[in-house]
Amino acid sequence: MKVEDFNYELPEELIAQTPLQKRDESRLMVLDKNTGEIEHKYFRDVLSYLHAGDTLVLNNTKVLPARLYGEKEDTKAAIEVLLLKNVKGDIWECLVKPARRIKKGTVVVFGNGKLKASCVFVGEDGIRHFTFSYQGIFLEVLEELGTMPLPPYIHEQLEDQSRYQTVYAKEVGSAAAPTAGLHFTKELLDEIAQKGVNIAYITLHVGLGTFRPVNVDNIEDHEMHSEFYQMSSEVADILTETKKRGNKIISVGTTTTRTLETIMSLYHEFRSCSGFTNIFIYPGYEFKAIDSLITNFHLPKSTLVMLVSALAGREHVLHAYKVAVDEKYRFFSFGDAMLIQ
Task: DSSP for 288-335, please give it.
Answer: SS-SEEEEE---TT-HHHHHHHHHH-HHHHHHHHHHHHHTT--BSTTS
Could you read off the pLDDT of 213-251 as tens digits, one per residue?
A: 788 999 999 989 889 999 999 999 999 999 999 999 999
- As beta bridge partners, residue 58 has 201
- Nearest-Å Rg of the Cα atoms of the chain is 20
Q: Is the pTM value of this prediction over 0.95?
A: no
Strands (E), 125-180: 127-134, 171-174
Identify the burial level of 326 via C-beta atoms within 10 angstroms of its C-beta, where 0-12 means exposed, 13-18 middle and 19 or more buried.
Answer: exposed
**How many CB atoms lie under 10 A from the CB of residue 330?**
22
Residue 209: what pLDDT? 72
Q: Let me know: does 321 contact 313? Beta carbons within 8 Å.
A: no
First to last CA, the chain: 25
Q: Which among 127, 144, 126 is positioned nearest to 135, based on CA atoms?
A: 144
In the chain, which residues have pLDDT < 50?
none
- As beta bridge partners, residue 40 has 29
Tell me the one-letter amino acid at 89: G
Q: What is the rounded distance in angstroms from the CA atom of residue 339 to the CA atom of residue 341?
A: 6
Strands (E), the chain: 27-31, 38-42, 55-59, 61-63, 67-72, 78-88, 91-97, 107-110, 115-122, 127-134, 171-174, 198-204, 227-231, 249-252, 273-277, 292-296, 337-340
